[in-house]
């Protein structure tokens, strides 16, 4: 934490990248300001409670990280700071209850399904969740989709080019099982053998993001033995999981199995990054031209530096025209907790994003993250626009299969 604070030279280069700064126009809601507030809290010249609203308003989008020439690891700072504060933070009782619910329910698809179906879990939970995950709950339909379990091993079609395992994910698995299903199919179509280890579970990122450090470690640990050794990669289709796992280094600092955690994290790759480095073999494409906007998930673009991978894949698809949009790197305000705590900010970011998407006149929006997908669907719905928003895995599967 201290290194991140020390490294900040107060130059302000991160300011234009920050969604909350561009919206609110005040220094406290900028990366530079937040770093300064955290510094003051750590030095005990400011109370944590006073600083909290501004830290809470941070989307965790990480746009400030690549923008910083001084190499301030804002993400590490934020995660460590939140872990530290969480230990001391007194939450209102309802909040505390919601947090317990998150910790005990969300990581476990079965429990979650049960809870969701017995209803009303949504609202209580949302208030306690960080942006990257809570938005998933907005997908909470009247009735949950039936599970779409992947076979333990989906064989590669044609020549075998790689072997991977799919990280099942937690909430996404219950809410949008079709995403992982499509990912497995798209990979198999491209010559990849896809394992879905039956005992693999939540990676713990969701808990890391709410600052429930100990529980996150335990969940993460459960996964370590579950994946075959001879696979080339562990694939995730949720940006939040991918970036969370890359925080394992922080999470497992001083733990006896830190090396194992690091080895696990090294294997984890986002779906688009993996497929683009492998190269797409199947790309029948679409019968008619599709005008597509790709919406960057912050947890892919900023947190994992993936700007071109998904775009490269989409551009290879015949009859798919990829359209640029203004301010592509700006967070869409991906709803969830953020939507409830900061409805005005989240909605305004969503409105801006939808406006710049619509200006490009697409007929399909594609993203690599369920949170963004949900936010965009909601925002589009509120403008009465029927534009479809889909996960890149679904689009690639469709393109590989040549269906229209």
Question: Which residue, 48, 397, 79, is CA-closest to 244?
Answer: 79
- Binds 74, which of other proteins, ligand SF4, none (CB < 5 to 8 A, cut-off by type)? ligand SF4
Place of tokens 């969604």: 19
Question: Is the Cβ–Cβ distance between 250 and 216 less than 8 Å?
Answer: no
Interacting positions 72-91 with ligand SF4 (CB under 6 A):
72, 74
6 binds other proteins (CB under 8 A): yes
Q: How far is the CB of 11 from ligand SF4 (least distance, A)?
A: 4
- Of the candidate residues 8, 102, 140, 376, the single one contacting other proteins (CB under 8 A): 8
Strand partners of residue 233: 164
Asked whether the CA dihedral 92, 97, 100, 105 is positive or negative, the reply is negative
Residue 311 touches other proteins, criterion: CB under 8 A: no
Structure tokens at 289: 């031209």
50 near other proteins, rule: CB under 8 A: yes
Q: Which does 19 bind (CB under 5 to 8 A by kind): other proteins, ligand SF4, none?
A: ligand SF4
List helix spans (H) across 2-159.
2-7, 19-24, 31-42, 48-56, 64-67, 74-88, 93-105, 109-117, 121-126, 131-137
Distance of closest approach, residue 90 Cβ to other proteins, in angstroms: 18
| Binding track, positions 58-97, relative to other proteins; x by CB under 8 A | ----------xxxxx-------------------------
Nearer to other proteins, 6 or 361 (CB): 6
Least Å distance, CB 114 to ligand SF4, is 34
> Considering beta carbons, is residue 35 or 251 the nearer one to ligand SF4?
35
361 touches 383 (CB < 8 A): no
In the stretch 17-36, what mask flags binding to ligand SF4 with x, by CB under 6 A?
xxxx----------xx-xx-
Measured CA to CA, the distance from residue 364 to residue 350 in angstroms comes to 17
Please, which residues have CB within 8 angstroms of residue 77's CB and are 6 or more apart in sequence?
1, 4, 5, 35, 38
Helices 74-88 & 48-56 angle (0-180, nearest 10): 130
**Which residue in the set 30, 105, 367, 374 belongs to the binding site for other proteins (CB under 8 A)?**
30
CB of 33 to ligand SF4, least distance (A): 8
Q: Which two structure tokens, joined as six digits, stand for 163?
A: 């072997």
Pick 54 or 181: Cβ nearer other proteins: 54
| Residue among 2, 3, 6, 9 that touches ligand SF4 (CB under 6 A) | 9
One of 1, 38, 48, 61 touching ligand SF4 (CB under 6 A): 61
By a kind-dependent CB cut-off of 5 to 8 A, residue 20 interacts, out of ligand SF4, other proteins, none, with ligand SF4
DSSP string, 363-404: SEEEES-HHHHHHHHHHHHHTT----EEEHHHHHHHHHHT--
Q: For ligand SF4, which is the closer residue by CB, 27 or 95?
A: 27
Q: Distance between CA 39 and CA 193 in Å, rounded?
A: 48
State how far the Cα of 66 lies from the Cα of 58, in Å rounded to an integer.
16
Q: How far is the CB of 288 from other proteins (least distance, A)?
A: 31
Pairing mode, if any, of strands 192-195 and 153-154?
Answer: antiparallel
Q: Is 2 in the site for ligand SF4 (CB under 6 A)?
A: no
Q: By the criterion CB under 8 A, which residues form the site for other proteins?
A: 1-3, 6-13, 15-16, 25-28, 30, 32-33, 36-37, 40, 42-46, 50-51, 54, 68-72
Residues in contact with ligand SF4 by the rule CB under 6 A = 8-14, 17-20, 31-32, 34-35, 58-64, 68, 70, 72, 74
């Amino acid at each position: 934490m201290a290194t991140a604070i020390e490294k900040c030279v107060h130059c302000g280069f991160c300011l234009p990248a920050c969604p909350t700064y561009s919206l609110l126009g005040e220094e406290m809601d900028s990366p530079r300001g937040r770093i300064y507030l955290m510094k003051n809290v750590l030095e005990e010249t400011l109370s944590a409670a006073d600083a909290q609203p501004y830290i809470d308003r941070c989307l965790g989008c990480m746009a400030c990280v690549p923008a910083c020439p001084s190499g301030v690891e804002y993400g590490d700072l934020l995660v460590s700071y939140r872990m530290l504060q969480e230990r001391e933070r007194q939450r209102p009782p309802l909040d505390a209850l919601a947090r317990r619910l998150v910790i005990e329910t969300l990581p476990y698809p079965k429990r979650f399904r049960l809870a969701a179906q017995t209803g009303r879990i949504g609202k209580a939970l949302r208030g306690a969740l960080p942006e990257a995950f809570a938005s998933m709950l907005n997908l909470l339909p009247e009735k949950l989709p039936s599970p779409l379990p992947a076979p333990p091993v989906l064989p590669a079609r044609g020549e075998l080019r790689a072997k991977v395992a799919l990280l099942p994910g937690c909430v996404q698995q219950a809410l949008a099982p079709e995403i992982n299903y499509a990912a497995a199919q798209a990979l198999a179509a491209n010559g990849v053998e896809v394992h879905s280890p039956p005992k693999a579970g939540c990676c713990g990122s969701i808990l890391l993001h709410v600052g429930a450090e100990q529980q996150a470690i335990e969940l993460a640990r459960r996964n370590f033995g579950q994946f075959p050794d001879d696979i080339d990669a562990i694939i995730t289709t949720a940006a939040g999981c991918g970036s969370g796992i890359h925080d394992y280094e922080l999470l497992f600092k001083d733990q006896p199995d830190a090396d194992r955690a690091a080895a696990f994290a090294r294997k984890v790759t986002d779906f688009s990054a993996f497929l683009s480095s492998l190269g797409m073999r199947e790309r029948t494409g679409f019968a008619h031209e599709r005008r597509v906007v790709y919406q960057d998930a912050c947890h892919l673009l900023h947190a994992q530096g993936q700007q071109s991978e998904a775009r490269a894949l989409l551009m290879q698809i015949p009859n798919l025209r990829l359209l640029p949009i203004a301010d592509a790197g700006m967070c869409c305000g991906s709803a969830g907790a953020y939507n409830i705590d900061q409805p005005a900010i989240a909605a305004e970011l969503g409105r801006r994003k939808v406006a710049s998407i619509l200006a490009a006149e697409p007929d399909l929006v594609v993203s690599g993250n369920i949170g963004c997908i949900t936010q965009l669907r909601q925002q589009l719905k509120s403008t009465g626009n029927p534009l479809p928003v889909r996960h890149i895995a679904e689009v690639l599967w469709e393109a590989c299969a040549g269906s229209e």
